[in-house]
Homo-oligomer: A and B are copies of this chain.
Amino acid sequence: MKKILIALETGEAEKRRFLQTAEAAEVPCEFVFTTPGEVTPGQVAEASFIVGNVPPRMIAASENLDVIQLFSAGADPYMVPGVLAEKTLLCNATGAYGLAVSEHAFALTMMLIKKLHLYASSRAHACWQDRGPVTSLTESTVLIVGLGDIGLCYARLVKAMGARVIGVKRRGGPCPEGVDELVLTAEIDRILPEADVILSVLPSTKDTVHFYTAERFAAMKNTAVFVNCGRGDAVESEVLLAALRDGEIAAAAIDVCETEPLPADSPLWQEEKLMITPHVAGSFHHASIYKGVMDLACENLANYLTGRPIVNLVDFSTGYRK
């Protein structure tokens, strides 16, 4: 008897879909449906297949656990030594977030280049104030740092608006659709001075922590805008704030911070050139994400029960999907 723990908000339709997946596989399963907030250590300890971001400490390297399918793209808390047993397969939900996060990042990009963050700030002060010239993506070079699913979706959006698109990747390969030029991460310093827009969608790994140093911001155009919809620890708050205050870049938008929620007394809130959204780009705020996670979870449950290879495995050496 396989014990399947679904720690994800589900309605009747979703519950039925999981049950039908097990029936189709003809493997007897016992299901527990709960949520990440209500799950108990006992439920986690017994489970052989988990769907959902249960608290990592509850897993305690359980030898019962064969597979955990996260609903997030980032998997960093589950890669900490001692969380998962050696045999446990860790799967992220990369692929479910492409549309929603790329569109959020794209909306932030348009906001910054049209100075809508400044007009929003003026609005808060009831101030009819002209903020001067704007640019267009038709004349812009957009650098996408982290060319996974989200980065590629974003590439197609800015390309459709007429931008020149440069993708930054760890490893070389053929240039994907929507990308004009591919640059290796190791060579980013060469290309930074060319970018009008820099989108960061880096995951959190040992190589990406504080990736955007003061030197890198100084190398950017003074007119450049920086958007971070990846992980907050790619940029130290102080470094970003200094880059904005010193005019190294023109504006920034972040959906992620080093400390979340961002404390009310953080000086980041006071910087007019900075737009902040509270880590919502990849929440279940657009139906495509929940649908993508459900599709993946059911696919991997079927794979697990029928002995087919599990998909979306996380590579522990990089934090990315293998």
Contacts and interface: CB of A to CB of B under 8 A. Distances in A.
Interface of A: 99-100, 103-104, 106-108, 110-111, 113-114, 116-117, 119-124, 126-138, 157, 160-161, 260-262, 264-266, 269-270, 275-278, 280, 283, 285-288
B116 A285 contact: no
A264 B123 contact: no
A117 B285 CA distance: 16
Given A99-B136, A128-B264, A134-B286, 9 more contacts: A104-B134, A106-B110, A107-B113, A110-B110, A117-B120, A120-B123, A126-B266, A130-B280, A136-B286
29 contacts: A100-B134, A100-B136, A103-B110, A106-B110, A107-B114, A108-B114, A110-B110, A111-B111, A111-B116, A116-B116, A116-B275, A116-B277, A119-B275, A119-B277, A120-B121, A120-B275, A123-B269, A123-B276, A126-B266, A128-B276, A128-B278, A129-B278, A133-B285, A133-B286, A134-B286, A135-B286, A136-B288, A157-B161, A160-B160
A264 B286 CA distance: 36
A136 B103 contact: yes
A278 to B, nearest CB: 4
Work out how many copies of this chain go into the complex.
Answer: 2
Q: Report, nearest first, the 9 A-B pairs whose CB atoms are least far apart.
A: A120-B120, A128-B261, A107-B110, A160-B160, A126-B269, A124-B124, A107-B114, A128-B278, A126-B264
Contacts of A262: 128
Contacts of A277: 116, 119
Contacts of A270: 126
A276 B288 CA distance: 30
Contacts of A136: 99-100, 103, 286, 288
Contact of A131 (B111, B265, B280): B280
A132 to B, nearest CB: 7
Contacts of A117: 120
A247 B136 CA distance: 33
Nearest to A131: B280
A113 B106 CA distance: 12
B121 A114 contact: no
Nearest to A276: B123
B276 A130 contact: no
Nearest to A123: B276
Contacts of A160: 160-161
Given A114-B107, A116-B107, A264-B127, A132 B285 contact: yes
